[in-house]
Amino acid sequence: MICYLFAELDEVLGKLSRGPSMPQQQQPRVSDTTDTSGEDTDVEQPRRRVRSRRTFKMKKGYAVGELAQFFVTGPTDAANKLSEFYCRVCRKDVSVRTHGEYEIIRHFQGHRHFSRDQRLRLETPGWRVLDFDGNPLPEDELERQRERIMLAPLVVRDREYPFREDLIPDASGDVDAQLPLLAKVSCLIDALQVGGSALC
């Protein structure tokens, strides 16, 4: 009898030393937790991981093609923002530093850009409306989606920005990153119209 009591006492002391245990069904699971470390991106994707330590610089060749020619120009500061392009639809600089050319299609697919892009292409003569993957929409599909496309916000594209290689250096070899190429051409035309006496 005394041995039995000692055994029971040892069991109780052992439970007290371990502390209260949480029932199995109440223990939190990893899948039940919320990951708040991700970024808020245009396409609602998880936080991007840098693929490599390589740093990409914007190339004019990235803007070649029906998809990019419509909205990609040089950045607002072409001399200093070497890894960015300017989106004429969203009116902001976009970085290609970590993913290079892929950032252009990724930006195109963002929910803030895509709907505006489709409407602007629809209203701009000579341009075809593209689907989410950047392919031209067939005529029947375009007619089916026309009403939805026209519900997107109206976009008025602002002034152009040249690419870095389009900048024209002055006599000292310096370039004005804020002066677009078209402005310089326009200035030259004005000078020729007045007989070349005006300076620009």
3 state DSSP class of 136: strand
Give the pLDDT confidence score for residue 52 in this predicted structure: 55
The overall pTM is greater than 0.85 = no
* Residue boundaries of the structural domains of the chain: 60-158, 167-200
Q: Which residues contact 47 (CB under 8 A, 6 or more apart)?
A: 37, 38, 39
One digit per residue, the tens of pLDDT, for the chain of length 200 reads 555 555 665 665 566 566 555 444 444 443 333 333 333 444 445 445 555 568 899 999 999 999 999 999 999 988 889 999 999 999 999 999 999 999 999 999 999 999 999 999 999 999 999 999 999 999 999 999 999 999 999 988 777 788 877 766 666 767 666 666 666 666 677 667 666 554 54
Give the pLDDT confidence score for residue 29 in this predicted structure: 44
Give the pLDDT confidence score for residue 30 in this predicted structure: 37
Give the pLDDT confidence score for residue 51 in this predicted structure: 53
Give the pLDDT confidence score for residue 8 in this predicted structure: 63
Q: Which residues contact 62 (CB under 8 A, 6 or more apart)?
A: 68, 72, 85, 96, 100, 101, 104
Helices 111-123 and 139-149 pack at an angle, to 10 degrees, of: 110
Give the pLDDT confidence score for residue 9 in this predicted structure: 55
Q: Which residues contact 88 (CB under 8 A, 6 or more apart)?
A: 70, 71, 72, 73, 157, 158, 160
Give the pLDDT confidence score for residue 121 in this predicted structure: 96
Give the pLDDT confidence score for residue 166 in this predicted structure: 77
- Comparing CA positions, the residue from 122, 179, 182 lying closest to residue 155 is 122
Give the pLDDT confidence score for residue 37 in this predicted structure: 31
Give the pLDDT confidence score for residue 136 in this predicted structure: 97
Q: Which helix (H) or strand (E) holds 2?
A: helix 2-18
